[in-house]
Amino acid sequence: MDPIFSPPLHRQRHQFVIDFVKRNKPQKVLDLGCSECTLLKQLRFHREMQLLVGLDIDGATLKKKMHGLAPMSTDYLQPSDDQLRIELYQGSVTQRDARLRGFDLVTSIELIEHLTLADVDRFSEVVFGYMAPVAVIVSTPNYEFNHLFPERTGYRHHDHKFEWSRAEFKSWALKVCLDYGYEVEFTGVGDPPAGQEERVGFCSQIGVFRRLRGRAVCNMLFCDEDEFSYTLLYSKNYPSLHDNKILQRVLVTEVLSGAETLRRKWAEETTGDRDAADGRAEACGAAMRILAEHPEVEDGELSWTDGRGQQESCELRRCVSVPLAVLWSRCPKVRGLGGSLSNLRQLLMDHPDVTLSQDGSAVLLNDQEQEEEEHDELEDSGYAEARVCSLSVEPEENWDANV
């Protein structure tokens, strides 16, 4: 039946839900009879959502399709600030499960007509009485529209147990509202031919139910029961910056690239591009200042302090020291991710890709030019042992407050 509609009817139904989600921004959404997870796949892009759950009685289809709900590579490369969790359950809408209570939105798209009328009553009690979400969207075929398809006999699908006229749908919906404390608006998708709107109605009829204020209290009767009748088949937390490990990884990338940019600016200046460097001096002033305080670095021999505070002397690899305070003031992304300077230092401290100065106030970068020169020399001489030392930087007093 879909081909006569453009976009196809099933897409129009899903778009109806997506538009509702855009307007109402529910945080917890449950799709009943989610089948191939097509709607869930689209809903996961609405990142104000924190929990997205699908339920279907057909576990085999869920298992076949559930991997399409996994995060994509872009979700890992650019983790969101939001927290999204997706879960899929195998079970029947005629049974209760405490994990599916308290949602903001429950959708039931072309599901109820697959239930016997006795099971529709159970569905009403479970969904409206027990799950008691803030809103419910129910779509089901409008039998009156079928007359526009004379070649078709019987119901639209072999598994449909019934198809309701608008009056039958309305009568069920109003009873639900009365029994469980909801109000309902009737609408639909799949427009009838011009002039037949009143006579035929939409191809898919839709009821949008909203829980009346104060009625949630009645459902507290169920609160003590912890029923778990569904089987969890799939659960996935999407990459989020709320995960400390992910935050640390993204932050390290930003810090290292920010520090590298400052280092390059400094290097350009020291190679004599004076006019341009004047303009950039302010940008990397603090980074350069620390280098200027250690001119002896050039000579490769310097007294430094090891992790235990002992003075040692060694042949030194040249480093560029970029104070975190400079990165903080120059890189908005680092600021956004770090939260505070001390938090930033904490997150960088034990990361293997980052070398901090002893007082933790600066990132140390190896001088690449020197490394390249040394590499050439080592290759020439056949000397293969690498020497790595960190430059000790004078602690800046109260550097946290300098920003």
Give the interface with ligand SAH as residue ranges (CB under 6 A).
10, 13, 33-35, 38-39, 55-58, 92-94, 109-111, 114-115
Q: Which of 178, 185, 172, 186 is nearest to 129 (CA)?
A: 178
Q: Which residue is nearest to ligand SAH, using beta carbons?
A: 33
Q: How far apart are the first and last CA of the chain?
A: 65
Asked if 325 contacts 402 with a C-beta cutoff of 8 angstroms, the reply is: yes
Which residue, 38 or 229, is less far from ligand SAH as judged by CB?
38
- Closer Cβ to ligand SAH, 38 or 80, answer by number: 38
Query: What residues contact 283, with CB distance under 8 A and at least 6 apart?
Result: 262, 265, 330
**CB of residue 92 to ligand SAH, shortest distance in Å:** 4
- Compute the chain's Rg from CA coordinates: 32
Rounded CA-CA distance 128/332 in Å is 47
166 three-state secondary structure: helix
Question: Which amino acid would we find at residue 325?
Answer: A
User: Is residue 168 within 8 Å of 227, Cβ to Cβ?
Assistant: no
Residues recorded for the chain: 403
* Residue closer to ligand SAH (CB basis): 36 or 260: 36
Nearest approach, Cβ of 193 to ligand SAH (angstroms)? 24
351's enclosing H/E stretch is: none
Residue 344 CB, shortest distance to ligand SAH, in Å, is: 46
Task: Give me 159's structure tokens.
Answer: 């598994």
Q: Please check whether residue 256 is in contact with residue 363, taking contact to mean a CB–CB distance below 8 angstroms.
A: yes
Which residue, 2 or 273, has its beta carbon nearer to ligand SAH?
A: 2
- Nearest to ligand SAH of 33, 181 (CB atom): 33
Q: Which is closer to ligand SAH, CB of 114 or CB of 236?
A: 114
Element (H, E) at 123: helix 117-124
Q: Which is nearer to ligand SAH, 31 or 367 (CB)?
A: 31
Q: How far is the CB of 170 from ligand SAH (least distance, A)?
A: 21
Amino acid in position 27: Q
Per-residue buried b or exposed e for 202-213, using 16+ beta carbons within 10 Å of the residue's own CB: bbbbbbbbebee
The distance of closest approach from Cβ of residue 119 to ligand SAH in the complex, given in angstroms and rounded to an integer, is 6
